[in-house]
Amino acid sequence: MSQEKPQSRREFLHAIGSLGGSAAVYQAMVTMGLLVPKDAQAAINKQRWQASASQNASANKPTIAILGAGISGLYVAYELKKAGYPFYLIEARARPGGRNHTVRAGSVLTETDSQQVCQFDSHDELYFNAGAARISQHHQHLLSICRELKVPLQALVNDNPGAYLHSTSAFAGQPVRGREVQAALRGNIASLLAKAINANALNGEISNVERAYVLEVLKDFGALDNSWQYSGSTRAGVVPGSGGLTGEVAKQALKFEDFIFHPRVPFAANFAQTYEQAATMMQPVGGMDKIAYALAEQVAEESTYGAEVTAIRRTTNGVRVEGKVGKQVGAIEADYAIVTIPPSVLFKIPNDFSTQAKIQIAQVQYAAPTKIAFQSPRFWELEDIYGGISWTDPEILQLWYPSGGFGMSQGVIVGSYLFGGEHAARFANMSPQQRSEFALAKGERVHPNYRQNLSRPVSVAWSKVPYSMGGWSSSAPSSILQKPDGPFIFAGDHLTHLQGWQEGAVISSLNALANLASMVNA
Amino acid sequence: MSQEKPQSRREFLHAIGSLGGSAAVYQAMVTMGLLVPKDAQAAINKQRWQASASQNASANKPTIAILGAGISGLYVAYELKKAGYPFYLIEARARPGGRNHTVRAGSVLTETDSQQVCQFDSHDELYFNAGAARISQHHQHLLSICRELKVPLQALVNDNPGAYLHSTSAFAGQPVRGREVQAALRGNIASLLAKAINANALNGEISNVERAYVLEVLKDFGALDNSWQYSGSTRAGVVPGSGGLTGEVAKQALKFEDFIFHPRVPFAANFAQTYEQAATMMQPVGGMDKIAYALAEQVAEESTYGAEVTAIRRTTNGVRVEGKVGKQVGAIEADYAIVTIPPSVLFKIPNDFSTQAKIQIAQVQYAAPTKIAFQSPRFWELEDIYGGISWTDPEILQLWYPSGGFGMSQGVIVGSYLFGGEHAARFANMSPQQRSEFALAKGERVHPNYRQNLSRPVSVAWSKVPYSMGGWSSSAPSSILQKPDGPFIFAGDHLTHLQGWQEGAVISSLNALANLASMVNA
């Protein structure tokens, strides 16, 4: 070997490829630092599926019934199509996407006891992502679909320190800017620690060598003055009118005791530190459903919408899916079924799953998130808020400002987003009119000019949306359902630890495809 | 009064308006919380200018010579046009914008000793903002121009914790993700402070009542465990391959001592805490010069490009501006001149300014920033980096990833941005070829696959760009030049505390217009 000339990366990968197949190539690429795997198993599953698809390119292929045209079902269908498999894609709703649902002028939002028609003006930027609304930059499996199908993406401003933090019980009920809390949090924490260090209280933790460095780090971290006090900083914002012809004057600093007794205030300020919520977040330009429709277009020929599954049966050699379109009943036969119907709906559909699978499906608990949106002139942009989220009392919790269409006269503001729990349950139980009034009454505590501006409410309580009956699984993913149950293969974000994220749906689809490949090649 | 029914807001403002003029209305609106003034003086100047313009609507108006079609001159021209003033706009370059300069396929970048022609592919998203590249959400005067002229804006990802922090001397020279440093900074600071509090070292600072609250705040702030230790967190990222079908496993935490001795590392992590650099930052879709061209289009008729000013003279009743277009010399006469030529260029032009003004102009010091950009496949997006900035050694300091065109195959990466100082001076002194080689050699420490991907370099050293001869004033704005000097009125970002920001240019223009109004109405 020592006599041989060094292999180029490509030669090396080619050699590995001949020896060990694509999974080995993948692993070698990871080792060489050429790939940053997001979910290694998902990437391996993708390789496995693609290898199987190309191996079976000219063979007779089994027929697949895909149940549900959410992101998971759509993506499975798209991959089967590329691989030349015969399949049916069956969806109960009249549209693709499932909880990927963008509402715009004329969209219908159906719940078990109400129906709303969206009254927004018709405009590309006037839309409301009623379900999935965020994509993280590390959601590479979903992002690769956007890349492949050329779905234009834009940055979603998830964390905006110029937006408000409001709590009825803090700051005399007045909203403050997120940056005021952030600056005060960092400043006070850094200053207290500097004090302890200077008082020799941490000599056991911080050596003499480290001490000067740590103090310098604290000064910059907290914007401390030369005596390591936090006496305010322009990080918190500036006095209106300063900073142009005259010098910047820092806004008066919040004091630690102004907000530490109101835990939601500092906690909201930490929100965007989490791995899933940190920048860069993205969204498709013009609505999240651009992804669903891009996939749906690829498999339009094989898709049936408005077809409700009424039974999922096992046959001698495969599956039989019974359903109805309107009043017309029918059935299809296939070799395998890939079942992406959410457990919250699936458990009620008569089926021939194994007892073990039935039990697992019945056990999945669902979160019941709610949202409401309004059309409004973009008054918030005149208050220096472009995109992002204001946080307020838990009854409505969040206001989202649009991250697209900056500077337009009209925009869509999300007037509340609740992830679940008691407040969401109360909101879900209201009529659409009551929800609107509730959101306006609470929201005008943050924006005094709220009610004059907002109109055309449209709301959603996912626990009451037919064919979803919930927002996302709040249970741990079932490792049993991650494996095939005879001819039944399950998919959906509930089978991953990314519940409620489209990335989870795609990862589960890759798992389903790898399961299919194993059975087809067995 | 007590018998009167309460006035509506509008009635009240109307009443004030009849009494005190528009400035009084403005002040009342501020007091009522209806306006959040960015720069109160600038807003008042705008009101003053508009009042004067409408007062003089049908009167004979003086003729104005505007020298320089950067943002400041363009905006003055645009306002004069709206008010029906006769004016000339004279610009030495062949294009509008000045330091608002977007480089794309075929753009020419001229320095005193070199000329480059940009070789990027021709595409809307393949551009390089060689000068101004960021707009803050509180730059309301600039943003109102974008609103008025319908310049589409998008979020600019300025701070991306998924981008790298790299230092040759830290982490064994390996780049780490920004989020790793951020999580470790917060975690270690919070944990040390909790230790000091629990050891009763801060009893004088934190009361018994506060203690439990502060500890809970620290736990969330730093992602501490139940014993207030920072033992790692998914905030720092997850182990590759975890977090999909299997649970998330936090990446191994950086230790405080891994980076505190390398001050630039934690300081870079704090960059986006500042008022000017914090989210939401924006950029025009397709290049910063969309603003310059939108303004230029409004005043095209009155504009002369390629006209170099050779002397600025005072006449009996006004001003005489001498210049040349190519070899052809000429002069225009006007009642007033609004001079936006930067002091770095202006001090060499023969003029009849007062001695006091001459001295002020000669004293302005200029920062000498440099930048370089390359076209490249978007390999960084496959490494989970969408937009934002990686920080590295001070020789090249920053790599900027594009915030537009996510998912496209090609993009433009800024391979270095230096604000000034010794490193920028060294970079400026290199030939364009040397700069490219230097940026590649340093940049591949951050991205090992850098050199294979990057091509078509184009660089700028603003200290060597004719008609700019510098990036921005590093001197305090001259209050003398903020006032008229006979018939000469000065404008430009150097006259504000927002040096180097387009918002400063617009604020200075409003000051110039208010100065003009005072003289016209005197």
**How far B161 CA sits from the closest chain A CA (Å)?**
7
Give me the pLDDT at residue A435, please.
98
Q: What is the distance between the alpha carbons of residues B448 and B454, in angstroms, rounded to a whole number?
A: 12
Name the token pair of B286.
């397709």
List CB contacts (< 8 A) between B448 and chain A: 33
Q: Please tell me if residue B176 touches chain A, with a CB cutoff of 8 Å.
A: no
Q: Which pLDDT band holds residue A42 (cuts at 50, 70, 90)?
A: confident
Is there a single domain that holds both residue B356 and residue B376? no
Instruction: Calculate how close chain A gets to B111, using CA atoms only, in Å.
Output: 31
Rounded Cα–Cα distance for residues B101 and B459 (Å) = 12
Can you tell me the distance from the alpha carbon of B391 to that of A15, in angstroms, rounded to the nearest whole number?
36
In the three-class reduction of DSSP (H, G, I as helix; E, B as strand; rest coil), residue A264 is classed as helix
Residue contact B407–A39, C-beta within 8 A? no
Question: In terms of domains, do A79 and A109 share one?
Answer: no
Q: Select the residue from A10, A137, A503 to test the B interface by mutation, using most B Cβ atoms within 10 A.
A: A137
The per-residue pLDDT for A261 is 87
Are B156 and A155 within 8 A, CB to CB? yes
Q: Both B158 and B111 in a single domain?
A: yes
Q: At residue A23, does pLDDT exceed 70? A: no
Contact B280/A246, CB-based, under 8 Å?
Answer: no
Q: Hey, are the CB atoms on B384 and A234 less than 8 Å from each other?
A: no
Q: What is the mean pLDDT of chain A?
A: 92
With CB atoms and an 8 Å threshold, state whether A42 touches B185: no
**Dist CA B17 CA A61 (whole Å):** 79
Q: Once rounded to an integer, what is the mean pLDDT over residues A447-454?
A: 96
Q: Are residues B207 and B337 in the same domain?
A: no
Q: How far is B233 from chain A (nearest CA, A)?
A: 9
Flag whether residue A387 sits within 8 Å of chain B, measured between CB atoms.
Answer: yes
CATH code for the domain in which residue B448 is found: 3.90.660.10
Is A217–B143 a contact, with Cβ atoms under 8 angstroms apart?
no
User: What three-state secondary structure class fits B428?
Assistant: helix
Interface check A406 vs B, CB under 8 A: yes
Q: How many angstroms away from the CA of A200 is the closest CA of chain B?
A: 9
- Whether residue B202 and residue A223 make contact (CB cut-off 8 A), yes or no, is no
Let me know whether A245 and A187 are in one domain. Answer: yes
State the smallest CA–CA distance between residue A443 and chain B in angstroms: 17
Q: Mark whether B254 and B203 lie in a shared domain.
A: yes
- Phi/psi of residue A34, nearest 5 degrees: -85, -15
Q: Helix (H, G, I), strand (E, B), or coil: what is residue B88? A: strand
Tens place of pLDDT per residue across chain B (522 aa)? 333 443 444 443 344 334 444 444 444 444 444 444 455 677 788 888 888 887 777 778 999 999 999 999 999 999 999 999 999 999 999 999 999 999 999 999 999 999 999 999 999 999 999 999 999 999 999 999 999 999 999 999 999 999 999 999 999 999 999 999 999 999 999 999 999 999 999 999 999 889 999 999 999 999 999 999 999 999 999 998 889 999 999 999 999 888 888 878 888 889 999 999 999 999 999 999 999 999 999 999 999 999 999 999 999 999 999 999 999 999 999 999 999 999 999 999 999 999 999 999 999 999 999 999 999 999 999 999 999 999 999 999 999 999 999 999 999 999 999 999 999 999 999 999 999 999 999 999 999 999 999 999 999 999 999 999 999 999 999 999 999 999 999 999 999 999 999 999 999 999 999 999 999 876
Say whether both A337 and A386 belong to one domain. no
Closest CA to A167 of A396, A464, A506: A396
Give the domain CATH number at B497. Answer: 3.50.50.60
Q: Which helix (H) or strand (E) holds A210?
A: helix A208-222
Q: Is residue A23 part of a domain?
A: no
Interface test with B, best of A160, A291, A406, A508 (most B CBs within 10 A): A406
Helices and strands counted in chain A (H then E): 16, 24
| The pair of three-digit structure tokens given for residue A51, joined into one six-digit string | 């290898």
**Residue A20, pLDDT score:** 42
Question: Which pLDDT does position B39 carry in this prediction?
Answer: 57
Q: In terms of pLDDT, which residue wins out, A514 or A57? A: A514
Q: Which two tokens stand for residue A331?
A: 């059935």
Chain A window 241-270: which residues touch B at a Cβ cutoff of 8 Å?
A: 241-248, 256-257, 260-261, 263, 266-267, 270
**What percent of chain A has pLDDT above 90?**
83
- The residue among A203 and B33 whose pLDDT is bigger is A203
Q: What pLDDT was estimated at residue A130?
A: 98
Q: Which tops the pLDDT comparison, A40 or A514? A: A514
Q: What is the 3-state secondary structure (H, E, C) of B29-78?
A: HHHCCCCCCCCHHHHHHHHHHHHHHHHCCCCCCCCEEEECCEHHHHHHHH
Nearest residue, CB atoms, A266 vs list B41, B221, B511: B221
Start-to-end CA span in chain B (Å)? 38
Quick one: closest CA in A to B265, which residue?
A217
How confident is the model over B6-38, as pLDDT tens digits?
344 444 334 433 444 444 444 444 444 444 445
> How many other C-beta atoms are found inside a 10 Å radius of the C-beta of residue A309?
24
**Inter-chain contacts counted by CB atoms under 8 A, chains A and B:** 294
Average pLDDT over residues A464-469: 98
Range of the domain at B143: 102-163+369-464
pLDDT bin (cut points 50, 70, 90) of residue A350 is: very high
A452 Cβ contact partners less than 8 Å away, ≥ 6 residues apart: none
pLDDT value at residue B521: 79
CA–CA min distance B409, chain A (Å)? 8
Nearest CA-CA distance, residue B352 and chain A, Å: 25
- Taking a C-beta distance cutoff of 8 angstroms, is the pair B459, B371 a contact? yes
Q: Is B271 exposed, middle or buried (0-12, 13-18, 19+ CB in 10 A)?
A: middle
Cβ–Cβ below 8 Å for B39 and A511: no
pLDDT at position B60, please? 83
What is the distance in angstroms between the Cα of B224 and the nearest Cα belonging to chain A?
A: 13
B482 part of contact set with chain A, CB < 8 Å: yes
Whether residue B109 contacts residue B103, with contact meaning beta carbons closer than 8 Å, is answered with yes
Does residue B272 fall inside a structural domain? no
What ipTM did this prediction achieve? 0.91
Segment A232-244 mean pLDDT: 92
B181 CB neighbours in chain A (<8 A) are none
A239 touches chain B (CB under 8 A): no
Pick from B147, B182, B245: CB nearest A496: B245
CB contact under 8 A, A245 and B41: yes
Which residues in chain B are contacts of A386 at CB distance < 8 A?
137, 155, 280, 282
Which candidate from A137, A159, A386 shows the least CB-CB separation from B385? A137
Q: Which two tokens stand for residue B361?
A: 């102009």
- Is A221 in contact with B382 (Cβ distance < 8 A)? no
Look at residue B40 in the predicted model and tell me its pLDDT.
65
Name the closest residue on chain A to residue B33, using Cα atoms: A448
**What's the pLDDT score for residue A40?**
65
With a CB-CB cutoff of 8 Å, which residues 276-305 of chain B face chain A?
278-280, 282
Q: Do B275 and A157 touch (CB under 8 A)?
A: no
The reply to whether A379 touches chain B by the CB within 8 Å rule is: no
Q: Do A460 and A375 belong to one domain?
A: yes
**Token reading at B85:** 């003033």
Q: Which residues of A touch B235 (CB under 8 A)?
A: 273-275, 278
Rg (CA), chain A: 27
* CA A331 – CA B69 distance, rounded (Å): 71
Does residue A296 share a domain with residue A242? no
The DSSP letter of residue A255 is P
N residues, chain B? 522
- Contact status, residue A239 vs residue A207, Cβ threshold 8 Å: no
Whether A450 and A482 share a structural domain: no
pTM: 0.92
Q: How far is B276 from chain A (nearest CA, A)?
A: 8
Q: Give the model's pLDDT for residue B34.
A: 43
Sign of the dihedral through C-alpha A351, A356, A358, A361:
negative
Question: CB distance A507–B261 less than 8 Å?
Answer: no
Residues 6+ apart with CB under 8 A from B335: B62, B63, B64, B317, B318, B319, B487
C-alpha B382/C-alpha B427 separation (Å) is 30
Closest chain B residue to the Cα of A479, Cα to Cα: B245
- Do residue A418 and residue A342 come from a single domain? no
Q: Is the peptide bond before A496 cis (omega within 30 degrees of 0)?
A: no
For residue B394, give Cα distances in angstroms to B50, B380, B418. Answer: 46, 21, 8
Q: Which of residues 88-127 of B touch A (CB under 8 A)?
A: none
**In CATH, what number is assigned to the domain containing residue B205?**
1.20.1440.240
Same domain, B86 and B116: no
Give the single-character DSSP code of B332. Answer: E
> SS3 for B452-473, per residue?
HHCEEEEEEEHHHCCCCCCCEE
Contacts for A205 with CB less than 8 Å, ≥ 6 apart: B192, B195
Please report whether residue B322 resides in a domain: yes
Residue A415: which residues within 8 A CB-CB, separation 6 or more?
A372, A373, A374, A396, A399, A439, A440, A443, A454, A457
A contacts of B137 (beta carbons < 8 Å)? 160, 162, 381, 384-386
pLDDT band, very low/low/confident/very high, at A50 (cuts 50, 70, 90): confident
In a domain, A514, yes or no: yes
Q: Average the pLDDT over A489-493 and give the result.
A: 98
Closest residue to B41, CB basis, from A30, A205, A241: A241
Bridge partners, B283 (sequence order) = B154
Domain count, chain B: 3
For residues A240-258, give the mean pLDDT: 91
Of A272, A138, A156, A141, the C-alpha closest to B385 is A138
